[in-house]
Amino acid sequence: MADAARPLELWLPDLPRFEPDHPLRAWLARADRLDDGPRGFLGGLAGYFDCADGFAPAALTRELLAGDAGDAIWLSADPAWIQPDLNGARLLACGQMQLSVDEARTLAESLQPAFADAGMALEVGTPDRWHVRVPPGLALPAFASPDQALGENLVQHLPEGPQGRRWRALLTEAQVLLHQHPLNARRRERGLPPVNSLWLWGGGHLPTEVRSQLHACVSDDVLLGALAARAGVQVVPRTPQAIAEAGSGWLVDLQDLQASELAGSWWPTLQRLAAAPLQLSFASGERWLQRPWHRLRFWRGGRR
């Protein structure tokens, strides 16, 4: 059962992204420092949701979007943009590629024969979330999540060893097909980056049980929504009104926003939340607890 005394929690971007004059820094100066929590997006989710038999993002999101995950093994294969450079290539975007449903399906259709030849099925859940149904008994190598690989040299994050060889070959074939696709030429004409790769990650079976201490969540994230649905936790789309109405035991997911956005259009709403106990949890792991009376700690100053 969820703890009724659990404070409202804000899940925020990495702390170093907040400039010294950011208004949130004034809160930190007067709040109580807590022990660090999990780091990163997936680490944070694992801190909020307990999967009884393994954390499998692909199967979770497939079940939420299509309802057909069943007992199959699923792998996320999200559309991506890779930019070559002098040292190899870097992952610059994964998902959020401004694809329409029709465009996503058109690109996926060009890749489906290659996956079928490998005994797999490539499915489009949404324009940003694609999935591969993996044949039974096929062992999966370790795949890096997008947040681990974004901006870094791909050589560091491709699946390794004999198990990874077939996946590296399949990924190379997909990149060749996408590079040649006329839709990417039209995207370049519109000033959009090409969808020239897939990012494979998050494989596994659908967890049989997901538990959480959260009362409810405010979030637009698909994976968080999938976990919450399995745990029986309500999810409300992120709007100023939804955040203003969130209460004890709720999680408000803001970790994907820019710090400047939080200091701008979102700040009036966030300020009103300080009338109740509020936990500030950063994606980089740092955590603080702010209580309403902490505003009286004037001797601590206004920044940290």
Between CA 73 and CA 211 the distance in angstroms is: 21
pLDDT 10s digits, 251-273: 999 999 999 999 999 999 999 99
pLDDT of 300: 60
- Whether 134 contacts 74, CB under 8 Å: yes
Q: Is residue 301 predicted with pLDDT exceeding 50?
A: yes
Distance CA 263, CA 265 (A): 7
Query: Across residues 49-64, what is the average pLDDT?
Result: 95
Give the pLDDT of residue 162.
84
pLDDT above 80 (res 208): yes
Highest mean pLDDT: which range of 135-144, 227-236, 284-293: 227-236
Residue 40 has pLDDT above 50, yes or no: yes
Average pLDDT of every residue of the chain: 93
Q: Which helix (H) or strand (E) holds 111?
A: helix 101-117
Q: Whole-angstrom Cα distance, residue 217 to residue 225?
A: 9
> In the predicted model, what is the mean pLDDT of residues 28-52?
95
Instruction: Please give the pLDDT value at position 87.
Output: 80
In the predicted structure, residue 4 carries a pLDDT above the cut 70:
no
Report which of 41, 121, 131, 114 is spatially closest to residue 79, judged by C-alpha positions: 131
pLDDT band per the 50, 70, 90 thresholds, residue 64: very high
Reduced to 3 states (helix: H, G, I; strand: E, B; else coil), residue 297 is: coil
**Residue 273 CB contacts under 8 Å (≥ 6 apart), including other chains:** 8, 10, 243, 244, 246, 252
pLDDT at site 304: 41
Q: How many CB atoms lie within 10 A of CB 36?
A: 12
pLDDT 10s digits, 136-168: 988 899 999 999 999 998 888 988 888 889 999
What per-residue confidence (pLDDT) applies to 181?
Answer: 96
Closest CA to 18 of 295, 257, 269: 257
| Per-residue pLDDT, 197 | 96
Q: How far apart are CA 269 and CA 248, in angstroms?
A: 16
Q: Which two tokens stand for residue 244?
A: 């203003």
pLDDT band for position 293 (cuts 50, 70, 90):
low
Mean pLDDT of 181-192: 95
* pLDDT number for residue 262: 97
41 pLDDT more than 60: yes
Ordered by start, the domain boundaries in the chain are 8-53+208-300, 67-204
Can you say whether residue 252 is alpha, beta or left, with left for phi > 0 and alpha for psi between -120 and 50 degrees?
beta
Can you give the pLDDT at residue 66?
96
Buried b / exposed e along 122-158 (16+ C-beta atoms within 10 A): bbbbebbbbbbbbeeeeebbebbbbeebbeeebeebb
Task: Report how far residue 149's alpha carbon sits from residue 199's, in angstroms, rounded to the nearest whole number.
Answer: 10
pTM: 0.91
**pLDDT surpasses 80 at 125:** yes
Q: Could you give the count of Cα atoms lying within 13 Å of 3 in the half-sphere of its Cβ?
A: 5
